[in-house]
Amino acid sequence: MSAHLSRRVLLASTVAFAVARPSFAATIKPDAKSALIVVDVQNCFVDGGTLPVKGGAQDVLVINKLAGAFEKIVVTQDWHTEGHASFASAHAGKKPFETTQMSYGTQVLWPDHCVQGSDDAALVKDLKLPTAQLIIRKGFHKDIDSYSAFEEADRKTATGLAAYLKARGIDTVFVTGLATDFCVAWTAIDAR
Ligand SMILES: [Zn+2]
């Protein structure tokens, strides 16, 4: 299942985004108007979790190093109801990684993961983010998935993150976390 998710570190700003290697972390120079968004670094997405990204736990050290350069950090947490519509188990005859049609379009179906309040949904305990000040929880509407930290998958329901960043005077964000091809990518694109 891990072939569906990858663990590169993706970084984004309001004007450009690029995929980078961990060594790139040393070259980032955030200013007072920059924030780091740390996406879904939860037990469910590392080895031993319900939807693991192969080697995902290794990203924690890189993220901790990045975090030292930021005064403003926002964290996201995938936070599903039991029986969430994005779970294959909620659809008779469907297996994980198959797709189904939802009111908002095609939905990839996942193994049950990141159920609210479970250890699986907790942030990885080695994550050290001393200046993190906001946790955005997403995917808690039973019938709507949410990859992006800004807008749920119906592309209508806002999380409020855009308004928060504007209110804090933030005009550049760097996005990292798990997994690159889904929640990090959607967050980076919406940030732009
Ligand atoms: Zn999810």
- Average pLDDT on 32-57 reads 92
2-24+32-79+117-191: CATH topology is Rossmann fold (3.40.50)
The arithmetic mean of pLDDT across residues 155-183, rounded, is 91
- 40 is a catalytic site residue: yes
183 pLDDT band, cuts 50/70/90, is confident
Q: Does 88 sit behind a cis peptide bond, omega within 30 degrees of 0 on the bond before it?
A: no
141 falls in which pLDDT band (50, 70, 90)? very high
**Beta pairing partners, 174:** 36
Whether 174 and 12 have beta carbons less than 8 Å apart is answered as: yes
CA distance 4 to 75: 23
- C-alpha–C-alpha distance, residues 132 and 76, integer Å: 10
Mean pLDDT estimate for the chain: 86
Asked if the model's pLDDT at residue 2 lies above 60, the reply is: no
Q: Please indicate whether residue 112 is annotated as part of the active site.
A: no
pLDDT per residue over 5-27, tens digit each? 444 444 433 323 333 445 555 66
For residue 154, how far is its CA from the centre of ligand 1 (angstroms)? 14
The mean pLDDT value for 156-179 works out to 92
pLDDT digit string, tens, across residues 75-120:
999 999 999 999 999 999 999 999 999 999 999 999 999 999 999 9
Q: Is 183 a catalytic residue?
A: yes
Domain ranges of the chain: 2-24+32-79+117-191
Angle at 113 between CA 132 and CA 115, to 5 degrees: 70
Six token digits for residue 154: 């119906």
pTM value is: 0.85
Distance between CA 115 and CA 112 in Å, rounded?
7
Q: pLDDT: is 29 or 156 the higher one?
A: 156
One DSSP character per residue, the chain reads: -GGG----EEEE-SS-EEEE-GGGGGG----TTEEEEEE--BGGGSTTSSSPPTTGGGHHHHHHHHHTT-S-EEEEEE-BPTT-TTBGGGSTT--TT-EEEETTEEEE-B-S--BTTSGGGSBPTT---TTEEEEEEES-STT----SSSB-TTS--B-SHHHHHHHTT--EEEEEES-IIIIIHHHHHHH-
Binned at pLDDT 50, 70 and 90, residue 3 comes out as very low
**Identified catalytic residue from 59, 78, 138, 190:** 138
Give pLDDT tens digits for 56-69. Answer: 888 899 999 999 99
Query: Taking the CB of residue 158, how many other CB atoms lie within 10 A of it?
Result: 12
Q: What percent of the chain has pLDDT over 70?
A: 86
How much distance in Å is there from the Cα of 182 to the middle of ligand 1?
10
Ligand 1 centroid – CA 110 distance (Å): 7
